[in-house]
Amino acid sequence: MKNPFDNAMSQLDQAARAGNFGHAFISRMKVPDRDIRISIPVEMDDGSIKIFEGYRVEYNNTLGPYKGGIRYHPDTDINEIKALAFWMTLKCAAAGIPMGGGKGGVTVDPKNLSKGELERLSRGWVRRLADVLGPRKDVPAPDVNTTPEIMAWIADEFEKITGDKTKAVITGKPIDKGGSEGRNTSTAQGAFYVFEKFKKELGLPEKCAVAIQGFGNAGSFAGVVFSRAGHKVVAISDSKGGVYNPLGLDMDKLLEHKKSTGTLSGFSGAKNISNMELLEIECDLLIPAALENQINETNAEKIKAKVVLELANGPTTPEADEILFKRDVPIVPDILVNSGGVIVSYFEWEQNLKKEHWSEKEVFDKLKKMLEENSEKILKKSKELKTTFRMSTFIVALERIEEKMI
């Protein structure tokens, strides 16, 4: 698999050519402030001790405390975390929030751990990193395979170690443990607000046929949000494969089916498909919402969607970007599309520090306004510079960081 950090740096080089940035600034953006590797000893249920490898990359805090999720995945490594931390830096800058960029992770398949082992691993992660974390220093959040419950364990462990009772050290917590209304669905909801702003510009029909790769926090809620708005979700998949129905999938029934059977396949009225087939389905909108490098030089020619809306981080390689550009398939980029998650995380942090609790309406009204303004800015910038949406988003973000850094 291509190293995601190489992909990220190739995107940065391209933005540096398209924009007007100082050489020293671009060199500075190529290295993280620090990358930390930790070993986490965990007592397993059978009494043995297993050592896990964990990470926290603090990429850049020019605009504010480092901010970014924690990923638990068997393939996670320092290069993936570095790439994700770099994209977080630009995402927060493009979003216009006073946060820098970071990311964390553990190389582990959480499906192989009991709940107790998962809790001890998560508490172990924060014990190793308590010195560098904190509401004004570095504020993690959920990512792939990490949940509100894990965030609550981390907040609790951090409080035990430091005495900090604000809970603002981490976001994405359950609501009764200092979480924000709307955080769980904010990434998908935010993607929908961005989509609505871009829809006309991209010549998409009023009601779109949508294919979604991924059925986790981002993908499953996207399915719900898009179908509630009257769009037709024709295909959706998880790591084991997907289902397809050109007439549209009933999302509520599909969620029930996955809950009761543990899989998407076998859903009544739908055809089982592979993940690769999903990406190549004829549709208006393709939403990758799983992992990096899914759209690459091996399948970019075969993509039949009119538009790609990147809900996952880094789903398209630079090679695929070029192929899709030549084929006139616009990509609305990850760091704009999925920024609803970090924006509501920032709202959660602010509510914790001010000891406030906002209603879901207040959260989504603020989110919508911000994402509409950000989307307009990006659309304007890409017309001005005659460049792709990815490059214009990068340039808006880099300009904000460079100005503050200087």
Active-site residues, by number, are: 103
Residues 304-363 that bind ligand NAD (CB under 6 A): 311-313, 338, 341
Q: Is residue 374 near ligand NAD by the rule CB under 6 A? A: no
Contact residues for 229 (Cβ-Cβ < 8 A; gap 6+): 192
Residues 239-258 that bind ligand NAD (CB under 6 A): 239
Stretch that binds ligand NAD, among 131-139, 209-217, 243-251, 317-325 (CB under 6 A): 209-217
CB of 311 to ligand NAD, least distance (A): 6
Q: How many residues of this chain interact with ligand NAD, rule: CB under 6 A?
A: 24
Q: How far apart are CA 238 and CA 215, in angstroms?
A: 5
Tokens of 89: 């830096």
**Positive or negative, the Cα torsion across 129, 105, 177, 139?**
positive
Residue 301 to residues 18, 82, 294, 319: CA-CA distances in angstroms?
Answer: 25, 29, 13, 11
Q: Is residue 237 near ligand NAD by the rule CB under 6 A? A: yes
Stretch that binds ligand NAD, among 74-82, 143-151, 159-167, 223-231 (CB under 6 A): 143-151
Q: How far apart are CA 172 and CA 17, in angstroms?
A: 36
Q: How far apart are CA 290 and CA 180, in angstroms?
A: 24
CB of 215 to ligand NAD, least distance (A): 4
Q: Is residue 214 near ligand NAD by the rule CB under 6 A? A: yes
Q: Is residue 54 near ligand NAD by the rule CB under 6 A? A: no
Sheet holding 138-142: strands in order across?
34-43, 49-60, 101-107, 66-73, 138-142
Query: Which one, 40 or 289, has the nearer CB to ligand NAD?
Result: 289
| Helix, strand, coil % in the chain, rounded to nearest 5 | 50, 20, 35
Instruction: Pick one of 52, 66, 86, 215: the residue that binds ligand NAD (CB under 6 A).
Output: 215
Compute the residue count for the chain: 406
CB of 338 to ligand NAD, least distance (A): 4
Stretch that binds ligand NAD, among 105-113, 201-209, 237-245, 252-260 (CB under 6 A): 237-245
Binding site for ligand NAD (CB under 6 A): 142-145, 187, 213-219, 237-239, 275, 289-291, 311-313, 338, 341
